[in-house]
Chain A
Amino acid sequence: MKMTGAEIFIECLKREGVTHVFGYPGGVILNIFDLLYDNKDIQLILTRHEQGAVHAADGYARSTGKPGVVLVTSGPGATNTITGIATASMDSIPLVVFSGQVPTMLIGNDAFQEADIVGISRPCTKYNYLAKDVKDLSRIVREAFHVATTGRPGPVLIDLPKDVTASKAEFIWPEIDIRSYNPTYEGNKWMITQAAHLIAKSKKAVIIAGGGVILSGGSGELRDLVEITDIPVTMTLMGLGSFPGSHGLSLGMPGMHGTYYANKAIQESDLLIAVGMRFDDRVTGKLDAFAPHAKIIHIDIDPTSIRKNVRVDVPIVGDVKRVLTVLNKVLKEDIKEQWEEVRKAWLRQIDAWKKERPMTYTYSEDVIKPQYVIEKIYELTRGDAIISTEVGQNQMWAAQFYKFDKPRMWLTSGGLGTMGYGFPAAIGAQLAHPNKLVIDIAGDGSIQMNIQELATAVINKLPVKVAILNNRYLGMVRQWQELFYNERYSYTHLEVVPDFVKIAEAYGAVGLRATKPGEVEPVLKEAFKIKKTVFMDFVVYWKEKVYPMVPAGAPIDHMLFEEKEQKTEKKLKAVK
C-alpha cells in the first residue's frame, strides 16, 4: 500500500516502539503534526522551546535507556535544538531528532526558514541524514534508531523536506546493513587475561567507573568485579549511580570537585581500572601528574577514547557489560587470589584518608547552606528519587552530597555543562516515570534558561519538583572570580532574581520558599506531598563555595579545602 512520507514516519515510530515525542510545530512539518492530531499511539509533548524539547527527550532517554525522540520545524526550530543535541552528544545519549526542511526544490535557495541543519549539526551528531526521497525514508529512520542506540550511543538527526512528507511510496521495513558501522562489543580475550593478571598483581588498585557502565547496563557486573576483588570504586560525574554510592568501597567522585580520598587513591594507586570513562580533564587535572605510579587498564566501546589523553597499558575495546562478564569469570576461575589479604593494607590506607578529610561542610544556624538542602533531600527521599541538575555549584553539591545507589537516577549535563538542562530533563524523566519523585536541583541562574517549561510541566500534570539553590549569583563563576580573580565579580551578580514563588504561581504551579535552615525540611516535606509541579526557592548563603577544589590544570591531589578559608576569616576578624 502506498503511504505518504508523513504516514511512513508515523508507522516507523510505531515499529520502533516510540510512545512519546517531544516537539514544537511549524510550517514545513505540518504534514506530520496533522497526523499526530488524532494518533492514539504517539503522544506529542509540546514544550515551550525546542531546546527544552531536546533536553526533555534526553532526560527521558537517560532515565529509561530508550532513545528520546524530537520533532521540530525547519530554520529556527532546527537551530534551537543544537544545544540540546550537543549536550546529548557529549554524554553519549541516544536521541533521534527529526527536523522539518523546506521542499527539496528550494534547498540551497535561502528559502524562508531554511537552515542547513545537516551541516550545522554534523559535528554534534553521531550521524545525520537529509531524507531526499520518500522511498528511502523508512530505511533512514530504521538506521537512525539503530545508530543512535548501538555502539557508543549518541544523537542522530533526520532532516525531512516538506515535499518528502507529502509524496507517496510503498511502505517497506528493510533489514539494515551499514557495512561501515560495526561497533566492537566483545573484548579481546587475551587483553582481558592480561588485565586479570595485572589486577592479581596489584596491591593498590582503584576502579574509575564512568557513564559507559550505565549505558551498557553493566552495573551488576561492576559490582561483581568489586565484590570479587575488593577494589574501591570512584565514579565520575557521568558514572554516579553505576556503583552504589553508599557502599563501603565507594570513594565518591574523583577530580576537580571530587573527594580527597578518591583523588588520593588515584594518585597513590599502582593500578587504575578505567571502565566506560574517557579521562576528561575535569577528572585528570594536570595530565602528566595524573596517577604517576599506576598501570592503566582501559575498557571502553569507543576506541578513540583509549589513549586519547592518558597512556594505557591494557586497552580493551568492547561493551563494558560483556567485557566485565568475561573478566569476572577469569578472575574467579583462573586466578583465585586471597583478595582480602591482598587489599587489607590498601583499604586501611583509604579508610584513613576518609577519616582525615571526609566530604563535609560547615553547618550554619543562621543561613541555609546549600549542601544542607541536598543532604535533606537525600535523607527525605532515602536516595530513591530521580535527580536532575542544572550546571554550576548546584550540580557539584548534588553530585557530592546525594548518594546514588542505582543507575539511571541521575541526570546531569556532564560533558557540555549546559545550564538550562535540568528542568526539561526532569520533565522528560517524569513522563517516563509518572510515579517516581523527580527533582531538579537548580541554580537561580540556570533555571532561568528554560523556565518557560513550567507551562509544559503544568499542562501535562507532571509533579516535577525544582529545588532552586538561590544564591543570587552565577555562583560557580563567582567562585572562580573569588579564588582566582581577586574577588572581581565581573557580571556574575544577578542583581534582580525574579520571585520564583510568584513565577511558579503565574504558570499554575506551586511556589514555596525557605529562608532559614529550620524551614528547609518543612518546605521539602510539603513539596513532596503535593502532586503538582513545585518550585522551591531556597535562599542560600551566597558566599558558599564548592570544596574540595582542584584549580584547573593542577594535579588532582593539589586540593583547596574549606578550612583554610575559615582560618583566614578568623584571622581577619581577629585583626579587626
Chain B
Amino acid sequence: MRHTISLLVENKFGVLSRIAGLFSGRGYNIESLSVGETIDPQISTMTIVTSGDDQIIEQINKQLNKLIDVIKVIDMTELAHVEREMVLIKVAPKQENKAEVLRLAEIFRGRIVDSSQHTYTVEITGDEKKIEAIIELLKPMGIKEFMRTGKIAIAREGTKKG
C-alpha cells in the first residue's frame, strides 16, 4: 500500500543522503520526496511517498526513526490530513485546441504562468487525483513536458492517530 510519511529532520548537511541512502540501501522505493524549511530554521521537513506491505512500511517508519538526524516520523496515511502537489505543464496545442487548454486550466483552477507563440505553461495545484486528471486531459493537446513537485502533506487540526 501507498504511504505518505512526513519527517522532521535536523537541517544539517548530509541528512538528505542519509535518508535517501536508507531507502536505496534497503531496497525501499521512494515515489516522491520533497524537502523544505520549517518555522525553526534548524529543522527541515520532508514528505516521502513510498509503498510496501505492512511489514515493510513498519520497517521504513522504524528505520527512519532510528536515524539520528530524524526528530519525528509521522505516517500521514494513518491520520486525517491534507495532501497537495503542484505541477507545471508545458503544452504546445494546435491552433484549434488553444481555447480548450485555457478552458481546462480554468476548470482546474489553474493559471497560465508562461506563454509563447506555440506553448502555454499551466500551473495546477491539487491532490494526486486532480494532478493525474489534468495530465490525462492535456495529453491529447500535446504536452511537451511537465514538472511535478512531489507531494507535501499536513495533518488536519484536532485529529488523532488511528
Contact = CB atoms under 8 A, between A and B. Distances in A.
Nearest to B24: A123
A123 B25 contact: yes
Interface stretch (B13-21, B137-145, B150-158): B13-21
Most chain B beta carbons < 10 A, residue from A130, A302, A303: A303
Interface string B103-142: 0000000000000000000000000000000000000000
B21 A123 contact: yes
B21 A180 contact: no
A304 B59 CA distance: 6
A14 interface: no
A92 to B, nearest CB: 13
Q: Is the interface of B mostly helix, strand, loop or mixed?
A: helix
B63 interface: yes
Interface stretch (B45-53, B65-73, B82-90): B65-73
A145 to B, nearest CB: 14
Contacts of B25: 123
A180 B14 contact: no
Contact of A180 (B55, B59, B62, B70): B70
Contacts of B59: 304, 307-308
B71 A118 contact: no
Nearest to A126: B68
B62 A118 contact: no
B66 A303 contact: yes
A127 interface: yes
Contact of B69 (A119, A180, A307): A180
A179 interface: yes
Interface residues of A, number: 17
A307 B63 contact: no
A361 B58 CA distance: 44
A181 B72 CA distance: 10
B64 to A, nearest CB: 10
A307 B54 CA distance: 11
B17 A303 contact: no
Contact of A178 (B18, B62, B63, B68): B68
Contact of B55 (A119, A127, A302, A307): A307
Contacts of A181: 68
Contacts of B18: 122
Nearest to A180: B71
Contacts of A118: 14
11 contacts: A130-B14, A180-B9, A180-B69, A180-B70, A302-B66, A303-B62, A304-B62, A304-B66, A307-B55, A307-B58, A307-B59
* A-B residue pairs, 5 tightest by C-beta: A180-B71, A304-B62, A303-B62, A127-B68, A181-B68
Interface of B: 9-10, 14, 17-18, 21, 25, 55, 58-59, 62-63, 65-66, 68-71
